[in-house]
Structure 1
Amino acid sequence: MSSAPFRVVVNGGLATVTIVGSGRGNALGGTFWDDLKEFMETVGHRDDIRAVVLAGDGGTFSVGMDLRWYLVRLRRAERSGTGSFMDDDVRHLQHAVTAVADCPKPVVALIDGECTGAALELISACDIRYASRRARFSLPEAELGVVADLGGLQRLPLLVNQGHLRELAFTGRTIDAARAARIGLVNDVYADSAALHDAACTLYGELCRHPAHVMEGIKRVLGETHQEGIRRGLEHSARWNSTHTGADGLRHAMTARLDAAAP
């Protein structure tokens, strides 16, 4: 596996970002969050990029947060006595997801296979979501004793109704691509990964018919409508987990989940 958390290929103005992550299943850890934020902020200043596609490597979008990586961070924080670690670190990760939402260019997620937890929160920040028939979605943070805190609970209500979202968040259950399309989580469902990328290229051709400043203007106007509510919600979720779960509780829950998943 490459040490880079994602690969970027720019072809004719379309930047395809293929997530590799820091662990099995394109787990999101290591430098992924910092590199994603930096890339998305850079995209806004690159005239050679008109749109961005986010996809996963090897038939999986992402299994979500890299728990092994995050456990190391928790243990270091506990040893150093950094009481504000959870607050500070969640905000740090939130900024990376917000950079996707704030990117002035259209961002399209192509979901093939699993899309879990932090990965689902990540695609909620994209403008358009296409899925393959084998795509699966879940928001299992409640199983770790925490509230999803990277923006999913703030942005998903703009996509699906409250009943569907509460069911996902309360139960942590997995839904398939067909149901994701029915509830509005994804725009459309395609046969396989190749069809997903073909759909993205077709969409890009349509986007390129319009001036770049119009695409940016649409994003700015749509985003401004909900920006303050999202900001308040992000702050509230960060404080809630720090107050009610804490680093020690999260460490024990993550350890138990990893032990349960071990062969």
Structure 2
Amino acid sequence: MAIYKSLEIFQKNPKSSVFYLHLNRPSHRNALSRDFFTEFPEALSSLDQNPNVNVIVLSGTGDHFCAGIDLKTLTSISENFVSVDRGRVGEQFRREIKWLQDAITAIERCRKPVIASIHGACIGGGIDIVTACDIRYCSKDAFFSVKEVDLAITADLGTLQRLPGIVGYGNAIELALTGRRFSGPEAKQLGLVSGVFDSRDELENGVRLIAEGIGLKSPLAVTGTKAVLQRSRELNVEQGLDYVATWNSAMLLSDDLTEAISAFAQKRKPVFAKL
């Protein structure tokens, strides 16, 4: 397994199909370095292609999930500009932003479901990351902030595109314009997270049980559900129904379906082949 500067991948149980991907710069509150933007999509791709992986849990080492993008990363981007031509600098800057965006969008490109397990700070770029995840949970002491406006930046890595679909436009614009800090329980009230756990230990154990449960389901059904839900965000109901009909015409008649029916009839747990 690859060695990363900003991340770590591991299994808690070698017999489990749940793999853990940790942001791993605890001394910097897991602020997103330039290494992260190179390594994160590579790590997700490797997990996506690994047939032993059914579910990915994304968390952070140390006391916080993510304090946002490292200011040194922003400085390094501006220092790379060599032209004095405003148009060429702008075009290069746009390509840099698209490259940063692509690292976050890698979560959505990953076929396997990605569950965010959030403790401590989840600020700025941390919000970009978790809004791209499929499911989010947090501990009671977690806190959040769409912080970019306070740094004189328009958030550009996905929060402004994904957050409104999760918490509603009115809530999203209020959070983005004020940059205010909000708690784990408020995140649950807004719909940003699906559940709040009393402590980090309870969060980790609860997320593990949820992930293990999903990991036991048909991999074809799980990856199909993620793909169809993502596509349906861009479609009306009629188009979405047509898309899932086409999807299932290719995927429904599988060995997974036969096994699920047999297991139900025999009152046993189904066992599915790796994907």
Which TM-score band (shorter chain)? 0.7 to 0.9
Aligned residue type for 1:9: F
Deviations 1:130-165 (A, max 9, x none): 101110000111122221111111111221011111
Give the whole-Å Cα distance in 2 for the aligned partners of 1:26 and 1:66. 9
What is residue 159 of structure 2 aligned with on the other side? 152
Give the whole-Å Cα distance in 1 for the aligned partners of 2:77 and 2:19. 31
Deviations 1:178-199 (A, max 9, x none): 1000010111101122111111
What is residue 172 of structure 1 aligned with on the other side? 179
Deviation at 1:69, TM superposition (A): 2.5
What is residue 242 of structure 1 aligned with on the other side? none
Instruction: Call closer, same or farther: CA 1:205–1:22 in 2, change over 3 Å.
Output: closer
Q: Verify the 8 A CA contact 1:13 1:49 in the aligned structure 2.
A: yes
What is residue 254 of structure 2 aligned with on the other side? none
What is residue 5 of structure 1 aligned with on the other side? 6
What is residue 19 of structure 2 aligned with on the other side? 15
The one of the two structures with greater contact order (alpha-carbon pairs below 8 A, sep at least 6) is 1
| Identity in percent | 30
Which secondary structure state, in structure 2, belongs to the residue aligned with residue 101 of structure 1?
helix
What is residue 241 of structure 1 aligned with on the other side? none
Deviation at 1:200, TM superposition (A): 1.4
What is residue 260 of structure 2 aligned with on the other side? none
Aligned residue type for 1:191: D
Equivalent positions of 1:222-233 (< 5 A) are 222-226=229-233
Give the whole-Å Cα distance in 1 for the aligned partners of 2:46 and 2:32. 20
What is residue 121 of structure 2 aligned with on the other side? 114
Give the whole-Å Cα distance in 1 for the aligned partners of 2:73 and 2:211. 35
Superposed CA RMSD: 2.1
Deviation at 1:42, TM superposition (A): 2.1
Give the whole-Å Cα distance in 2 for the aligned partners of 1:153 and 1:78. 30
Aligned residue type for 2:7: F
Give the whole-Å Cα distance in 1 for the aligned partners of 2:157 and 2:18. 26
Q: Verify the 8 A CA contact 2:113 2:222 in the aligned structure 1.
A: yes
Which secondary structure state, in structure 2, belongs to the residue aligned with residue 77 of structure 1?
coil
Equivalent positions of 1:43-54 (< 5 A) are 43-54=47-58
What is residue 64 of structure 2 aligned with on the other side? 60
Give the whole-Å Cα distance in 2 for the aligned partners of 1:217 and 1:8. 24
Runs of 4+ in 1 over 4 A off after TM superposition: 78-82
What is residue 97 of structure 1 aligned with on the other side? 104
| Deviates further, 80-89 or 125-134 | 80-89
Q: Which has the larger radius of gyration?
A: 2
Give the whole-Å Cα distance in 1 for the aligned partners of 2:23 and 2:50. 21
Deviation at 1:7, TM superposition (A): 1.0
| Contiguous gaps of at least 5 residues in structure 2 | 236-275
